[in-house]
Amino acid sequence: MLMYLLVAVAVIAIWLMTTYNGLVKLRNLKEEGWSGIDVQLKRRSDLIPNIIETVKGYASHEKETLQGVTNARAAVMNAGNDPEARVQAENALTGTLRTLFAVAESYPDLKANTNFLDLQQQLGTIEDEIQMSRRYYNGTVRNLNTTIQRFPAVLIAKQFGFKEATFFEAENEARENPKVSF
């Protein structure tokens, strides 16, 4: 009888340890995913002043658009590491960048400028990498949330303070095409 009790305790202990370690691994993967997004967003943020300076020379009377991009970039920098605040700020920045490139379409000399074309290509590459990082992050968030919500892991998750994470989703405004009128 004692042997069966010891085996049952050992099985429960192994299950608890395995479940806890699995939750830790998923949490760390989620943090790694967020770090990947953060790196790409920083690269994009570092590139924006160069784009603005290049456009300024051609579109000096588009101050409102340029100021909007500058303000959106500042909001991103001020959002810190809070994923929810960053998501909102990044979505606003994406929208202002789309408006900036829509305005740039009206300046043939700017569209032919090698500097601008190079910056635009770099930004396109970074946007693709941000998208891949978002997909990875959202996949890790999905795995973590699913594990936390399933029984009996939910008992361990609640006991040790594991919380569901928020997906990195684009807001509706970021999905729409910019409206530019002259």
| Across 62-80, average pLDDT | 77
Q: What is the pLDDT of residues 100-153, one digit of tens each?
A: 777 667 766 665 567 777 777 888 888 888 888 888 989 999 999 998 988 988
When pLDDT is averaged across residues 51-57 and rounded to a whole number, the result is 71
d(CA 52, CA 94): 14
- The amino acid at 77: M
Contact indicator for 112, 63 with CB cutoff of 8 Å:
no
Distance CA 69, CA 95 (A): 9
pTM, whole model, 2 decimals?
A: 0.62
Domain 12-175 coded CATH 1.20.1440.20? yes
As a whole number of angstroms, the distance between CA 164 and CA 78 comes to 24
